[in-house]
A = this chain, B = another copy of it.
Amino acid sequence: MSVVVQNIERADQEVIDALANCGVATVHEAQGRIGLLASYMRPIYRGARVGGSALTILAPPADNWMLHVAIEQLQPGDVMVLAVTGPSDAGYFGDLLATSAMAQGCRGLIIDAGVRDVVELEDMGFPVWSKAICAQGTVKETLGSVNVPVVCAGAAVAPGDVVLADDDGVCVVKREDAAEVLEKARARLALEEEKRQRLASGELGLDMYKMRERLAQKGLRYL
């Protein structure tokens, strides 16, 4: 039952890039607060922001064989999303695999396990969001699958979904929803800019969002 699905559909790259520019928190809100990976997924260095099409990998605990298989399936603009069949914080990925992935146009890795060579990865500019940083090596003994639907850090990810990651975390947008979510995210950002200016000038959220009446109805008392 170990398979490599070779042809997957991807969202439009311009849409993906525009979504990445909106930021994870905004996109997550714009699509109705779904698709967020668990907050234990942290970037290995600050300031990275990435968007791409999910090339999904399902791997056994402490076994990174499928990463080698997956790299052949990469297309420029892809982000690898590695889920595990059992928890592991071993270091599945390091600078050699990153060299290979970058040569195929890969933009980053989301991995519900460990990563190593983090200084080298930062120097190479290859961003990774992971559960752990760990020098522990892995074996190449047991099969998994590539480009099947997976659950990564608590979120369901299908191959070709849009994956976005920045310092706030990692979010997945269903491929078919990408354009619509982008529109909503942009609308949200436009609104936020106006709100930001009003708040910066000292206007209170209580007034701007007209919260006072509802707070009183709920029973808030000022002493």
Contact = CB atoms under 8 A, between A and B. Distances in A.
A222 B1 contact: no
Interface in A174-221: 192, 195-196, 199-202, 204-206, 209, 211, 215, 218-221
A210 to B, nearest CB: 11
25 contacts: A1-B32, A2-B219, A4-B221, A25-B137, A28-B136, A39-B133, A45-B46, A60-B62, A60-B139, A61-B88, A61-B90, A62-B62, A68-B209, A68-B211, A72-B204, A86-B90, A86-B136, A96-B195, A100-B204, A103-B199, A103-B202, A117-B168, A118-B167, A133-B167, A149-B156
B223 A96 contact: no
7 closest A-B pairs (Cβ-Cβ)? Answer: A141-B141, A39-B134, A61-B62, A100-B199, A68-B205, A135-B168, A25-B135
B99 A200 contact: yes
Interface string A116-154: 111100000000000011111101111100000101001
A93 B135 CA distance: 25
Interface of A: 1-6, 23-25, 28-29, 32-34, 36, 38-39, 42, 45-47, 60-62, 65, 68-69, 71-72, 85-91, 94-97, 99-100, 102-104, 114, 116-119, 132-137, 139-143, 149, 151, 154-156, 166-169, 171, 192, 195-196, 199-202, 204-206, 209, 211, 215, 218-223
